[in-house]
């Protein structure tokens, strides 16, 4: 490569973050960061390298999985909205909710239940509660914050989730857990995963007003309270809605969601099978009861995939950006320069801060940790820090990246599910993520002292 590993490896991430804040357009910001990185790597071959990386990313099994799962989640959401099932659910929940605080608390509780996968959580909870929070004049930005805070943070803390399975596999691959023992090591680290615990517990405090609306969130809440119109996502999903309100009951909403969760769990946390079966069951149910014509349902399936295209494009670009940063050596450079500062007391907090910065900068919650684990865990052993505590710091950083990054997949999908602009969600959420991160640094330091 044309560039040596130096402080300049931070430049693409810096360009991306600054451009995203100034332009409020994350796809173009990611593209700008990608091009800066490619020019640093090999200026004469930047275009051909971009084409090659984009092709590699599109052929990646993870991206294919994301496209299938998120596309079909869009289909399911559109089906539920067009038949009026989402309205039926909203009416049922609204009967139990009597103010904005309880609306947000119900959203938080629903997020605790949908713990299998952060993508599933972000899309299902946001779309389920959007009409309820709209009714009580809660801003879409606040809804997206609550949804995002119960996506990755909850999935991290529950060993029956895609996150736990991923990390358990990494521990076995790196030799820190024997075959079949990766999950046991992961479970031993859960008490040390301070950031997801703090982020999760901060939500009800924000919901009831103990922690006030801060910065741009305060403005968003004031606009919603004054009756500002919601985002146009509902209009796209509900276009062509059929008139079946008198025949649609709450089970028309609950059954597809239960099928989604049930089949995902039954097939070893395979959310792809879960969403395929859920869409199929929904189509059969609505068709058998003649709630929608078959042609209308298949139109809804296609339209739902179309609605997800902007979010999927952003996720693809985030993966391209992550690949460019990997080629630049961003993760290894930052870790290598922070390693000399490590002491037993400061190790967990510094690990959290370093990996949180990398995860935030690259938008990668999983990828960079495949690089970091073989470096960080031996370093922890060498300075006398327990492996579960080191893992807790690493997974906390991963959860922060997923939660706080402006262009991470979970941030994008939480905004999509909540009917909110991605940058509006990211900028209103960031103060709460930083508060949780600051508390986590203190918590990890206290844990290291004992």
Total count of residues recorded for the chain: 450
pLDDT > 50? residue 190? yes
- Asked if residues 200 and 153 have their Cβ atoms less than 8 Å apart, the reply is yes
All residues at 6 or more sequence positions from 236 whose CB lies less than 8 Å from its CB, including other chains: 303, 307
Tokens of 269: 């946390």
Indicate the pLDDT class of residue 23, thresholds 50, 70 and 90.
Answer: confident
pLDDT at 233: 52
- As a whole-number percent, the residues of the chain with pLDDT over 70 amount to 93
Tokens of 375: 């470096």
The domain segmentation of the chain, as residue ranges, is: 53-450
- Exposure b/e, 322-359, CB count within 10 A at least 16 = b: bbbbbbbbbbbbbbeebbeebeeebbbbbbbbbbbbbb
Per-residue pLDDT tens for 118-168?
Answer: 777 777 788 878 888 988 889 999 999 999 998 888 888 887 777 787 788
All residues at 6 or more sequence positions from 357 whose CB lies less than 8 Å from its CB, including other chains: 334
Start-end of H helices in 211-293: 215-225, 233-238, 251-266, 271-288
Distance CA 22, CA 383 (A): 42
Mean pLDDT of 203-216: 92
Mean pLDDT of 300-310: 88
Alpha carbon 311 to its chain centroid, in Å, reads 12
Per-residue pLDDT tens for 379-404?
Answer: 888 888 899 999 999 999 989 988 88
pLDDT at 238: 54
Per-residue pLDDT tens for 247-297?
Answer: 888 888 889 888 988 888 888 778 789 889 999 999 999 999 998 889 999
Find the angle CA(107)-CA(365)-CA(325) to the nearest 5 degrees: 145
Distance CA 394, CA 384 (A): 16
- Asked if residues 388 and 171 have their Cβ atoms less than 8 Å apart, the reply is no
Tokens of 103: 């609306």
Distance CA 202, CA 405 (A): 18
Radius of gyration over alpha carbons of the chain, in Å?
Answer: 22
Question: On the CB side of 72, how many CA atoms lie within 13 Å of its CA?
Answer: 22
Indicate the pLDDT class of residue 1, thresholds 50, 70 and 90.
Answer: very low
């Amino acid at each position: 490569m044309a560039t040596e590993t130096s402080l300049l490896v931070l430049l693409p991430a810096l360009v991306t973050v600054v451009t995203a804040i100034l332009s409020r357009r994350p796809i173009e910001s990611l593209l700008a960061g990608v091009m800066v990185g490619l020019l640093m790597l090999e200026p004469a071959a930047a275009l051909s390298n971009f084409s090659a990386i984009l092709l590699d990313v599109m052929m990646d099994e993870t991206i294919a999985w994301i496209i299938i799962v998120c596309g079909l989640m869009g289909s399911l959401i559109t089906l539920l909205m067009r038949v009026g099932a989402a309205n039926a659910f909203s009416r049922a929940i609204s009967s139990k909710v009597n103010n904005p605080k309880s609306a947000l608390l119900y959203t938080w509780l629903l997020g605790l239940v949908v713990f299998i996968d952060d993508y599933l959580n972000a899309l299902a909870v946001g779309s389920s509660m959007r009409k309820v929070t709209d009714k009580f004049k809660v801003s879409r930005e606040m809804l997206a914050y609550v949804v995002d805070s119960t996506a990755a943070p909850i999935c991290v803390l529950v060993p029956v989730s895609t996150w736990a399975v991923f990390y358990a596999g990494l521990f076995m691959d790196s030799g820190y857990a024997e075959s079949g023992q990766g999950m046991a090591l992961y479970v031993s680290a859960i008490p040390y995963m301070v950031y997801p615990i703090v982020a999760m517990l901060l939500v009800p405090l924000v919901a009831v007003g103990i922690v006030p609306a801060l910065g741009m969130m305060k403005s968003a809440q004031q606009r919603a309270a004054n009756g500002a119109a919601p985002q146009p996502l509902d209009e796209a999903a509900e276009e062509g809605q059929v008139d079946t309100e008198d025949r649609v009951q709450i089970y028309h909403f609950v059954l597809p969601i239960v099928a989604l969760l049930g089949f995902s769990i039954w097939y070893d946390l395979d959310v792809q099978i879960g969403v395929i079966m859920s869409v199929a069951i929904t189509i059969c149910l609505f068709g058998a009861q003649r709630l929608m014509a078959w042609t209308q349902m298949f139109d809804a399936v296609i339209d739902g995939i179309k609605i997800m295209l902007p979010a999927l494009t952003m996720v693809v670009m985030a993966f391209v950006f992550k690949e460019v940063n990997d080629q630049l050596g961003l993760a290894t450079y930052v870790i290598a320069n922070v390693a000399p500062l490590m002491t037993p007391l400061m190790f967990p907090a510094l690990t959290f801060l370093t990996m949180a910065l990398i995860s935030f900068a690259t938008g990668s919650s999983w990828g960079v940790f495949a690089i970091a684990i073989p470096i960080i865990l031996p370093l922890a052993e060498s300075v006398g820090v327990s492996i579960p505590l080191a893992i807790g710091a690493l997974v906390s950083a991963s959860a922060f990246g997923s939660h706080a990054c402006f262009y991470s997949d979970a941030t994008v999908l939480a905004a999509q599910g909540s009917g909110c602009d991605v940058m509006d969600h990211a900028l209103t959420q960031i103060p709460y993520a930083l508060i949780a991160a600051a508390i986590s640094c203190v918590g990890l330091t206290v844990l290291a002292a004992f």
